[in-house]
Amino acid sequence: MLAVVPPPVTVRAPAKVNLHLAVGDVRPDGFHELVTVFQALSLTDDVVVAPADTLAVTVRGEGASSVPLDHRNLVWQAAELLAAETGREAAVAISLAKGIPVAGGMAGGSADAAATLVALCALWRLELSRDELGVLAARLGSDVPFALHGGTAMGTGRGEQLLPVLARNTFHWVLALAPEGLSTPAVYGELDRLRAGGDPPRVGDVQPLMHALTAGDPIALAPLLANDLQAAALSLRPALRRTLRAGTTAGALAGIVSGSGPTCAFLCADADAAVRVGAELAGAGVCRTVRVASGPTPGARVVPGGVETTS
Ligand SMILES: C[C@@](CO)(OP(=O)(O)O)[C@H](O)COP(=O)(O)OP(=O)(O)OC[C@H]1O[C@@H](n2ccc(N)nc2=O)[C@H](O)[C@@H]1O
Ligand SMILES: Nc1ncnc2c1ncn2[C@@H]1O[C@H](COP(=O)(O)OP(=O)(O)O)[C@@H](O)[C@H]1O
């Protein structure tokens, strides 16, 4: 009797921006205690999984040449974790189409890991709940549970404990991608160094930002965007100051370093303003390339029919 080979499964997962990122003290396990508000954006990666003889990863798209293809890739780790948890071989071919900048502070690797968990659940017909997947996601990285969840959410602990946040309306963003990435541990380390030498100002209370999100008002939200890692990213990459200035000069309501950077995210008044700001920023010579995106968008989800694109 012929075995039926299941067809490939495609899952799309979003980039994130931290609207608020308050970094607390270092914990004994080396992670920092966070209070953050994530928003998922329309900038995405696609992950396709198909049955194969052994585990193999291929990558194309944005920054593909700097993505590892072995056990260092988070999708490899996701496949091995899910296989071990369910007592099977991780015999799958995983193809990544990257739209999210690599090491850009937009959680692209986390998005791919979340997408792999969802894709393999479908391929292997597993009956895992979103909560069970969330527990596995947190073992892969602090940002992976949010990539599963999507939308707008508050993250506490090391960022993995999530609560949904009510955000009315769609927000419009311009993203300035940098020529080279920044390492997340290096940026946290730089913040520790800056804090040891003085006490750089810390972001304030998150509540006013929550009100602006509930109201769905970008003009109220703009001055409340705040990121404790920004000072550290600017210290490691001073040229980002010029990028941030150029975005507001181009007409953005506000600009912020996305997470650990170096991508800069600019909040715009509406979709037309985002296109105008994007065009002006692209010509200002302050970044490698520009993307226009909106949020919130859903977390990792199967693409019906498996159409695969790079956004
Ligand atoms: C900074 C943030 C903001 O959302 O994301 P990025 O901007 O890099 O995408 C996250 O905290 C990154 O999350 P993620 O990239 O999943 O980090 P992990 O793999 O869990 O940890 C990588 C390293 O970052 C540092 N780290 C991470 C999270 C945290 N709460 N405290 C930390 O100090 C630790 O040095 C850790 O070893
Ligand atoms: N699937 C993946 N996509 C991108 N980078 C990955 C992936 N898996 C592992 N990495 C490694 O993780 C590092 C951080 O990547 P990424 O998740 O894109 O950035 P950030 O942590 O800034 O959001 C990369 O430099 C790369 O070496």
Cβ-based burial of 127 (10 A; exposed 0-12, middle 13-18, buried ≥19): exposed
Ligand nearest to the CA of 24: 1
* 99 pocket-lining for ligand 2 (C-beta < 6 Å): no
What integer is the mean pLDDT of 240-264? 98
Q: How confident is the model at residue 311 (pLDDT cuts 50, 70, 90)?
A: very low
Query: Contact 42/72 with Cβ under 8 angstroms?
Result: no
pLDDT in tens, 37-59: 999 999 999 999 999 999 999 99
* 46 pocket-lining for ligand 2 (C-beta < 6 Å): no
> Does the reported pTM lie above 0.95?
yes
Q: Which domains does the chain have, with CATH numbers?
A: 9-165 (3.30.230.10), 171-295 (3.30.70.890)
Q: What's the rounded Cα separation, in Å, for the pair 77 and 60?
A: 19
* 31 pocket-lining for ligand 1 (C-beta < 6 Å): yes
pLDDT of the residue at 306 = 77
Main-chain phi, psi angles of 230, to 5 degrees? -60, -45
Instruction: Please say if the pLDDT value at position 308 is more than 80.
Output: no
| Ligand 2 atom with the shortest distance to the CA of 110 | 17
* 45 pocket-lining for ligand 1 (C-beta < 6 Å): no
Query: Does residue 145 sit in helix, strand or coil?
Result: helix
Main-chain phi, psi angles of 15, to 5 degrees? -70, 165
**Which residue among 143, 144, 258 has the greatest number of ligand 1 atoms within 8 angstroms of its CB, and so is best to mutate?**
143
Closest-CA residue, ligand 2 atom 5, reads 109
* 184 pocket-lining for ligand 1 (C-beta < 6 Å): yes
Neighbours of 135 (CB within 10 A): 13
Instruction: Please say if the pLDDT value at position 269 is more than 90.
Output: yes
Q: Comparing C-alpha atoms, which of 48, 98, 41 is closest to residue 68?
A: 98
Neighbours of 240 (CB within 10 A): 24
Ligand nearest to the CA of 113: 2
Q: How confident is the model at residue 3 (pLDDT cuts 50, 70, 90)?
A: confident
pLDDT of the residue at 307 = 55
pLDDT in tens, 168-223: 999 999 999 999 999 999 999 999 999 999 988 999 999 999 999 999 999 999 99
Give the catalytic positions in this structure.
16, 143
- Report yes or no for ipTM above 0.85: yes
Q: Judge whether 103 is annotated as a binding position.
A: yes
Q: Judge whether 105 is annotated as a binding position.
A: yes
What integer is the mean pLDDT of 297-304? 97
Token pair for residue 100? 């999210």
Closest-CA residue, ligand 1 atom 24, reads 185
pLDDT of the residue at 78 = 98
Q: Judge whether 108 is annotated as a binding position.
A: yes
Query: How many percent of the chain have pLDDT more than 70?
Result: 98
CA of 105 to the centre of ligand 2 (A): 9
Instruction: Please say if the pLDDT value at position 2 is more than 90.
Output: no
- Helix, strand and coil in the chain, % to nearest 5: 35, 30, 35
CA of 142 to the centre of ligand 1 (A): 6
| Ligand 2 atom with the shortest distance to the CA of 103 | 19
Q: Comparing C-alpha atoms, which of 56, 46, 43 is closest to residue 308?
A: 46
pLDDT of the residue at 1 = 67
pLDDT in tens, 96-122: 999 999 999 999 999 999 999 999 999
